[in-house]
């Protein structure tokens, strides 16, 4: 089934329901949205001359037009390539080249600079030209497609090496949508999702379950994440959910509004994409209520590997509650997850190995990259590159990306474990731990620390904290106090960049 069918369905059965808001302002009902999308799809095939399977790039900051272009692309049987608008121009060009996208829809500030050999047209979604496309022409019928046809080329964030395009099929996206309902949350037509996080990534994926439920999509006027705006939007929308990276949750609860704002209209924050520290998780629940759900996923199995439900967040009486909060939850309904050794053999409970996944949401492969596809999918399992352990109840605890594990004197040290301890110090805002090459030990542990404004934190105090909680060999040998940690566009700490900084000192 073509996933654009979800919108055709909502456009008929929920025609009068609000579909798109910009801030508090309604931009389209589901009836109007479905009609605009079918008309735009007609132009993609007619005026723009695109053929089924052609790639359409979306180079836009968050905007309500995102939903239109995404669905029109699918409606016309084309492949969407959502690209993070904050990428470096060289990274943008690489993706445009690699996908040979023939048409790009772009925000006004990005449109003039887009060029690539295969690119025939760039349409500024804030322009009259875009508006005019909707004003004339007839709605086109939806293009049929096979379940394995590619719908979304998801470029991995590329914290190492060149980004790779995970081919996500219509089947993958539909399975992700159904899994949201089964594992993450129920949605009604009175609810909405606010896109505070980039629509080119997780937040954009969650457009789908909300269209399926005919719930509204809200794009903040700032087009991004601003804690004050998060709270302000709660005064004009009800049943609000949003996706947030853990760093966003942290900024939200650190904001002065967090203790005072009325959060009755906040329904769910789905967080994921990076480690959430237990202390932050607890504080978020104290300040905002029982509104957290965690997901663990990656571009190759979008938003869908494991989920820590609202119930598991709040089940304080469970004897393993703390351990569960530090986990990423249990496998989503539509996938199997296992922890395996280097030969892909399953390990026993508690043993640490690579997380492998198979099931309905796992990509069909990497775009034009058979070697990387064979490596990632060999044996029928997706090799996530994440290291973790399962407990007897099926809860997965992630240790780290395999490349981030520090090996010191032959012992494996998981940076996350050290970071959790450092973050217990109230003067520390952020901590990131990496390995530094060392002739004697192989690697030694080094911590980068961002302190809370006005706080004084000494290496001695951190040393004592670590000695109180950690084996001696895991204790950082050096602390570097920095103003901020380098992060990529989706808020992930760039450990490669920290390693580079270290090699230069």
Please say whether the dihedral angle defined by the alpha carbons of residues 207, 299, 83 and 98, taken in this order, is positive or negative. negative
**Which tokens hold the place of 109?**
């500030």
Q: Does residue 298 bind ligand AMP (CB under 6 A)? A: yes
Tell me how far CA of residue 203 lies from CA of 25, 350, 407, in angstroms: 20, 32, 35
Considering only 23, 137, 239, 274, the residue that binds ligand AMP (CB under 6 A) is 274
**Which tokens hold the place of 225?**
């994440």
In the complex, the smallest distance separating the C-beta of residue 39 from ligand AMP, rounded to whole angstroms, is 33
Considering only 77, 163, 165, 273, the residue that binds ligand AMP (CB under 6 A) is 273
> How far is the C-alpha of 22 from the C-alpha of 14, rounded, in Å?
20
- List Cβ neighbours of 270 (8 Å cut-off, separation of 6 or more): 184, 185, 206, 241, 242, 243, 244, 293, 294, 295
The smaller minimum CB distance to ligand AMP, of residues 125 and 276, is found at 276
Within 263-395, strands assigned E span: 266-272, 292-298, 301-308, 330-331, 335-340, 353-359, 365-366, 382-390
In the complex, the smallest distance separating the C-beta of residue 154 from ligand AMP, rounded to whole angstroms, is 7
Question: Which one, of 174, 177, 210, 209, lies nearest residue 192 by Cα?
Answer: 210
Q: Does residue 275 bind ligand AMP (CB under 6 A)? A: yes
In the complex, the smallest distance separating the C-beta of residue 497 from ligand AMP, rounded to whole angstroms, is 16
Q: Does residue 57 bind ligand AMP (CB under 6 A)? A: no
Give how many residues touch ligand AMP by CB under 6 A: 17
Considering only 401, 480, 487, 499, the residue that binds ligand AMP (CB under 6 A) is 401
In the complex, the smallest distance separating the C-beta of residue 301 from ligand AMP, rounded to whole angstroms, is 9
Q: Does residue 294 bind ligand AMP (CB under 6 A)? A: yes
- The site string for ligand AMP over 135-174 (x = CB under 6 A, - otherwise) reads ---------------------xx-----------------
3-state secondary structure of 152: strand
- The site string for ligand AMP over 482-501 (x = CB under 6 A, - otherwise) reads --------x-----------
Q: Does residue 28 bind ligand AMP (CB under 6 A)? A: no
Helix (H) or strand (E) holding 135: helix 128-135
Considering only 242, 296, 366, 381, the residue that binds ligand AMP (CB under 6 A) is 296
> How far is the C-alpha of 300 from the C-alpha of 106, rounded, in Å?
25
In the complex, the smallest distance separating the C-beta of residue 169 from ligand AMP, rounded to whole angstroms, is 17
The smaller minimum CB distance to ligand AMP, of residues 75 and 332, is found at 332
- List Cβ neighbours of 120 (8 Å cut-off, separation of 6 or more): 48, 102, 103
Q: Does residue 204 bind ligand AMP (CB under 6 A)? A: no
Count CB-CB contacts under 10 A for residue 467. 12
In the complex, the smallest distance separating the C-beta of residue 248 from ligand AMP, rounded to whole angstroms, is 13
The smaller minimum CB distance to ligand AMP, of residues 217 and 327, is found at 327
Question: Which one, of 184, 150, 142, lies nearest residue 364 by Cα?
Answer: 150
CB distance 138 to 39 below 8 Å: yes
In the complex, the smallest distance separating the C-beta of residue 274 from ligand AMP, rounded to whole angstroms, is 5
Q: Does residue 386 bind ligand AMP (CB under 6 A)? A: yes
In the complex, the smallest distance separating the C-beta of residue 356 from ligand AMP, rounded to whole angstroms, is 12
The torsion defined by the Cα of 227, 326, 352 and 176, in degrees rounded to 10, comes to -60
> How far is the C-alpha of 412 from the C-alpha of 405, rounded, in Å?
7
Question: Which one, of 73, 64, 76, 71, lies nearest residue 18 by Cα?
Answer: 64
The smaller minimum CB distance to ligand AMP, of residues 298 and 373, is found at 298
Q: Does residue 419 bind ligand AMP (CB under 6 A)? A: no
Q: Does residue 191 bind ligand AMP (CB under 6 A)? A: no
**Which residue ranges make up the site for ligand AMP (CB under 6 A)?**
156-157, 272-275, 294, 296-299, 328, 384, 386, 398, 401, 490
């Amino acid at each position: 089934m073509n996933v654009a069918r979800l919108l055709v369905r909502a456009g008929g059965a929920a025609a009068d329901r609000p579909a798109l808001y910009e801030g508090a302002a309604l931009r389209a009902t589901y009836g109007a949205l479905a009609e605009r999308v079918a008309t735009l799809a007609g132009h993609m095939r007619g005026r723009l001359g695109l053929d089924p399977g052609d790639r359409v790039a979306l180079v836009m900051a968050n905007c309500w037009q995102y939903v239109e272009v995404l669905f029109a692309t699918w409606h016309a049987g084309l492949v969407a390539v959502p690209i993070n608008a904050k990428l470096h121009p060289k990274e943008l060009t690489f993706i445009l080249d690699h996908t040979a996208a023939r048409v790009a829809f772009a925000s006004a500030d990005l449109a003039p600079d887009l060029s690539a050999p295969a690119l025939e047209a760039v349409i500024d979604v804030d322009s009259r030209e875009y508006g005019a496309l909707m004003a004339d022409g007839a709605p086109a019928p939806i293009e049929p497609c096979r379940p394995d046809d590619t719908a979304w080329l998801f470029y991995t964030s590329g914290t190492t090496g060149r980004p790779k395009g995970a081919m996500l099929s219509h089947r993958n996206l539909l399975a992700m949508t159904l899994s949201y309902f089964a594992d993450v949350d129920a949605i009604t037509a009175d609810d909405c999702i606010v896109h505070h996080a980039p629509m080119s990534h997780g937040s954009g994926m969650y457009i789908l379950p909300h269209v399926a439920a005919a719930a509204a999509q809200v794009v903040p006027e700032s087009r991004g994440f601003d804690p004050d705006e998060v709270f302000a939007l709660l005064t004009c929308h009800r049943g609000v959910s949003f996706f947030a990276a853990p760093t966003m949750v942290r900024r939200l609860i650190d904001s002065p509004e967090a203790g005072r704002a009325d959060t009755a209209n906040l329904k769910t924050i789905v967080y994921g994409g990076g480690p959430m520290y237990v202390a932050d998780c607890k504080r978020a629940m104290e300040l905002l209520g029982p509104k957290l759900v965690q997901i663990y996923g990656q571009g190759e199995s979008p938003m869908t590997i494991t989920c820590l439900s609202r119930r598991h967040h709040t089940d304080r009486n469970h004897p393993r509650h703390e351990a569960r909060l530090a986990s990423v939850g249990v496998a989503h309904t539509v996938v199997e997850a296992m922890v395996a050794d280097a030969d892909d053999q399953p390990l026993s409970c508690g043993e640490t190995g690579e997380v492998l996944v198979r099931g309905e949401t796992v990509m069909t492969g990497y775009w034009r990259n058979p070697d990387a596809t064979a490596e990632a999918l060999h044996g029928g399992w997706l090799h996530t590159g994440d290291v973790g352990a399962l407990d007897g109840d099926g809860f997965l605890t992630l240790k780290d990306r395999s490349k981030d594990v520090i090996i010191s004197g032959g012992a494996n040290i998981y940076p996350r474990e050290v970071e959790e301890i450092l973050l217990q110090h109230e003067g520390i805002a952020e901590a990131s731990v990496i390995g530094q090459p060392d002739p004697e030990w192989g690697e030694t542990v080094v911590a980068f620390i961002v302190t809370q404004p006005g706080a004084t934190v000494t290496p001695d105090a951190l040393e004592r904290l670590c000695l109180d909680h950690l084996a001696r060999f895991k204790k950082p040998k050096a602390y570097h106090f920095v103003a901020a940690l380098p992060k990529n566009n989706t808020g992930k700490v760039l450990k490669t960049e920290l390693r580079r900084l270290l090699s230069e000192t």
